[in-house]
Homo-oligomer: A and B are copies of this chain.
């Protein structure tokens, strides 16, 4: 049994000062329905109905700008996006969490419960964000 996420998504868009449009609702729905990060082409292939490639790019850009999702670059250069857990806004993103990229299924997950260990930067360096990307085999793929 699947819960209707429509109203949640709409509220989420409103909270982040984004106009409610069909493509935004549908893209946000995809993110809410999947446990892993999505690439532009994932989204392009999954969307129902005819939406322009450019519009998908702009949708993702607006989501990032308003703090709804964050970008995750993979080892091979593929850029994926995942929902920000909470309390991200246009002003402040703080999604310094651990990402895990499975070499078998290729999917990327946010390990929300694991906090990123901090490091001490060398003298002179200042810090704004950090990204901890691990590669290996995920729970599901290890079962088989």
Contact = CB atoms under 8 A, between A and B. Distances in A.
B75 A73 contact: yes
A103, A117, A132 — most chain B CB neighbours (10 Å): A132
A138 interface: yes
Contacts of A98: 119
A141 B120 CA distance: 18
A76 B75 contact: no
Given A75-B71, A76-B73, A128-B103, A122 B113 contact: yes
Interface residues of A, number: 40
A136 B127 CA distance: 4
B121 A127 contact: no
A32 interface: no
A93 to B, nearest CB: 11
A77 interface: yes
Contacts of A125: 100, 136-139, 142
Interface of A: 71, 73-79, 98, 100, 103, 111, 113-114, 116-139, 142-143
11 contacts: A71-B76, A75-B131, A77-B78, A117-B117, A117-B119, A123-B139, A126-B137, A127-B136, A129-B135, A129-B136, A131-B132
